[in-house]
Amino acid sequence: MTARTLYEKIWDSHIVRQEAGKPSLIYIDRHLIHEGTSPQAFAGLKAHGRKVRRPEMTFAVMDHSVSTKNRLLPVLDPDAASQFKALSENCRETGVRLLDMHSRNQGIVHIIGPELGITQPGLTVVCGDSHTSTHGAMGALAFGIGTSEIEHVLATQCLSQFKSKTMRIQVNGKRSNGVTAKDIILAIIGKIGIAGGNGHVVEYAGEAIRRLSMEGRMTVCNMSVEAGARAGMVAPDETTFQYLEGRPFVPRGKDFQEAVEHWKALVTDPGAKYDVMIELDAAQLAPQVTWGTNPEMVTDVTSRVPDPASFGTADARKAAEYALEYMGLKAGTPISDIFVDRVFIGSCTNARIEDLRLAAHVVEGKHVSRTLKQAIVVPGSRSVKAEAEAEGLDKIFRDAGFEWRDAGCSMCIGMNDDVLPSGERSASTSNRNFEGRQGKGSRTHLVSPMMAAAAAIEGHFVDIRQWDTAGGDHA
Amino acid sequence: MKPFTKHTGLVAPMDRVNVDTDQMVPKQFLKLLTREGYGRVLFYDWRYLPGEKPNPEFVLNAPRYRGASVLIARANFGCGSSREHAPWAIADYGFRAIVAPSYADIFYNNCFKNGILPVTLSDAEVQELFTRNAATPGYQLSVDLEANVVYDDQGFRSGFSVDPFRRQCLLKGLDDIGLTLEHEPDITAYESRGIPTPVMHSAVDFKVFDSSETTS
């Protein structure tokens, strides 16, 4: 048999039907939905008189528009209220399990999938959300889809898909203290560009990826889509199996052992070919800070805001000029001279327990800068929140002047009332620094949780490697 | 879905690389429950000043582009969020076709589900269209999916390729869920084979989850 990549193995095992010249019909094992992109899919289903084929394979959660303040108060935003109502009714009518905003297990869809063991190695996972690539960290094939495809999955439990090309990104060596999974993926996007992965499924490999915890691998896979990739994945290993064991939807006992035996085969065969191969040395990486309006506009914290004239093409020069104007930055400004107004620690990229531990470690015994207007910590899920509180992290954050919130997407997208005001600048652990992403006219700098925490303390970006608290082999 | 066979219309230019779907439909409009009516909010933050006054500096507000139905754009058009609200807004605004050097994957796929034809031409060809459009008020392009060709009345003519299956669906306005449901026996057969492993496809067990919902 020909040597196959991990992606090809999962693809092959999910072909329901294939015909020359047509996309393949692929079986979908787990379907995640949220209030933002699903109502039109249910409406379409109803309009055609179609049923949900396998309601037990779809999991719904409220995350995008939920308040992160007191959730017992009525929802004041009438549009958000109607989204919640629609999701509740759609789930009730079709038998889809819903984690509503009051559920003990509620959280951002890409945090709760792995956390509850809904996502497992070798599965196909889709969600009407581009950051579905997160789940690839489990060794699953996971990708974001549009609303028409949500409807397609609800009706058929399948999707018509063309096979993607494959890319291996190998990250060699060992990170320095203070350099995290977030810095690895930002550096990758800086290197290959936001369209560098278009049409490809990326498999991350190499020592630096193997050494990452599951949380770190999720951060890396999460932002695969910011490099344009259809999906990102990491072959499962002992780290994966240990993470999964005992989670609510993971098989138990003998079934778990059987599953592990199967999962162990989910690796790329020696000699399998990728369409593109890229290598990076983790030891060379510095903490990353974005300076522009998309994630490839990123540089080392020790560096300066680049001069648009230094870019190679007319399009890139113009894009950099637009970006600097929007961001209110001058070429040549040291990154460490950029002051921020607010700090957001949260999102499906960086709101897992490990992210919060790292940030808490940085702020412990210190206080946020007087120049800061706000610093908030939004745990990715209510389980993460409970775990953090059991460890006393909430107290560390509160004592340092942070607000400690309930779980949701929050200021990553600003669909609730956690909005970055126009003209203000954030250090944010989220995934997109697009114009207006955190609020109309808002200016976002993407960083790791440690870097965001340090920026909150100092009021501006600092090289976290120079702090004692950057120590240890963290993710 | 509305079929697409051939369309001739006024061209509007979007002269920026990496236009993301957050720009096409900002977050505050992702709370609506319908697929219709997003044309009004297309490129909202660029298009309007406070109070929803049209921003005279935004290209689509220029009188010469009123009624445009073919959008010429730059590389990696539609990157970022998977929101299908973006193609819904493009279609509802009145665009039937887009011509660009490249697209982001999810957006490209979403266009075909909504009767929009995303044509891919080379950088040089797209640049030529930008140049001709700038020089010619009322500049029109014809996009012919039956012949796989884009042309104007000044001698520009370029073939393009689209995957044959997607092309057929668009030409005929086919409902792809309906097409898949024709293969119901294949889906059932796959499910009963229970591959790749029995534990993966057996009904998901909610017992442990349900107890985690009620106990602390």
DSSP track, A403-432: EE--SSSGGGTTSSS--PPTT-EEEE-SS-
pLDDT value for B199: 53
Size of interface A-B (CB pairs under 8 A): 199
Query: Is B74–A105 a contact, with Cβ atoms under 8 angstroms apart?
Result: no
What's the first-to-final CA gap in chain A, in angstroms? 37
Q: Is pLDDT at B200 greater than 70 in this prediction?
A: no
Of B121, B32, B134, B36, whose CA–CA distance to B77 is shortest? B121
Closest residue by Cα to residue B173 from B100, B106, B91, B101? B91
Q: Do A198 and B17 touch (CB under 8 A)?
A: no
Contact yes or no for A195 and B76 at CB 8 A: yes
Residue A404, phi then psi, degrees to nearest 5: -110, 120
Quote the pLDDT of residue A438. 98
pTM of the model: 0.97
Q: Cβ–Cβ of B27/A414 closer than 8 Å?
A: yes
Give the three-state DSSP class for B184.
Answer: helix
At A223, which helix (H) or strand (E)? none
User: CA B150: distance to chain centroid?
Assistant: 18
pLDDT band, very low/low/confident/very high, at B215 (cuts 50, 70, 90): low
Distances (CA, A) of A44 to A28, A61, A83: 19, 20, 16
Q: Give the distance from residue B167's alpha carbon to the nearest chain A alpha carbon, in angstroms.
A: 11
- In the DSSP assignment, the letter for residue A297 is S
CB contact under 8 A, B187 and A25: yes
CB pair distance less than 8 Å for B82 and A144: yes
Please say whether the dihedral angle defined by the alpha carbons of residues B85, B88, B93 and B95, taken in this order, is positive or negative. positive
A43 touches chain B (CB under 8 A): yes
Q: Which of A121, A140, A136, A123 is nearest to A263 (CA)?
A: A121
Q: Which of B16, B82, B212 sits opposite A146 (nearest CB)?
A: B82
Distance of CA A204 to the CA centre of its chain: 15
Task: List the beta bridge partners of residue A428.
Answer: A344, A446
pLDDT in the model for residue B203: 54
The residues near A130 (Cβ < 8 Å, ≥ 6 apart) are: A144, A225, B80, B81, B82, B106
DSSP for A100-143?
Answer: -TT-TT-B-HHHHHHHTT-S-TT-EEEESSGGGGGGGGGT-EEE
Position of tokens 């059932």? B188
pLDDT at site A475: 47
Average pLDDT over residues B11-40: 96
Residues of A in contact with B197 (CB under 8 A): 122, 258-259, 262
Rounded to a whole number, what is the distance in Å from the CA of B160 to chain A's nearest CA?
17
Residue range B139-146: average pLDDT?
98
Q: Name the residue of chain B whose CA is nearest to A85's CA.
A: B33
The reported pLDDT for the residue numbered B194 is 63
Q: Are strands B70-73 and B6-14 parallel, antiparallel or unpaired?
A: parallel
How large is the angle between the packed helices A39-47 and A78-94, nearest 10 degrees?
A: 50
Enumerate residue ranges in chain A where pLDDT < 70: 471-475
Cβ distance B153 to B11 under 8 Å? no
Which residues, in sequence order, are CB contacts of A384 under 8 Å at separation 6+? A107, A111, A115, A351, A352, A353, A356, A407
Please give the Cα distance from B80 to B27 (Å, whole number): 13
Q: Per the CB < 8 Å rule, is A434 touching B213?
A: no
Contacting residues of B for A43, CB less than 8 Å apart: 33-35
Flag if A152 and B180 touch (Cβ within 8 Å). yes
**Helix-strand-coil percent breakdown of chain A, rounded to 5?**
40, 20, 45
Residue of A267, A24, A276 whose CA lies nearest to A163: A24
Contact B31 A13 (CB under 8 A): no
Tokens describing residue A457: 């303390």
Asked if B82 and A128 come within 8 Å (Cβ–Cβ), the reply is yes
Is pLDDT above 80 for B128?
A: yes
pLDDT > 70 fraction of chain B, expressed in percent and rounded = 94
pLDDT score recorded for residue A474: 46
Q: Could you tell me if A419 lies within 8 Å of chain B, comparing CB atoms?
A: no
Q: Which residue of B84, B200, B213 is in closest CB contact with A104?
A: B213
Mention every residue, 6+ apart, whose C-beta is less than 8 A from residue A157: A27, A28, A31, A53, A54, A57, B187, B191
In chain A, the residue whose alpha carbon lies closest to the alpha carbon of B32 is A79
pLDDT at B195: 58
Mean pLDDT across chain B: 93
pLDDT of residue B216: 46
| Residue among B102, B206, B212 minimizing CB distance to A97 | B206
- Report cis status (omega within 30 of 0) of the bond before B196: yes
- Of the candidates A56, A83, A160, the beta carbon closest to that of B204 is on A56
Count of Cβ atoms closer than 10 Å to residue A169 Cβ: 29
- pLDDT band for B209, please (50, 70, 90 cuts): confident
Looking from the CA of B10 toward its CB, the CA atoms found within 13 Å total 12
Strands A158-161 and A24-27: antiparallel
How far CA A434 is from CA of A340, B4, B21, B79, in Å, comes to: 17, 32, 10, 10
What angle do the packed helices A353-363 and A449-458 form, to 10 degrees?
Answer: 30
In this structure, the number of other CB atoms found within 10 A of the CB of residue B36 comes to 10
Using alpha carbons only, give the angle B169, A51, B208 rounded to the nearest 5 degrees: 120
Contacts of A259 in chain B (CB under 8 A): 197, 199-200
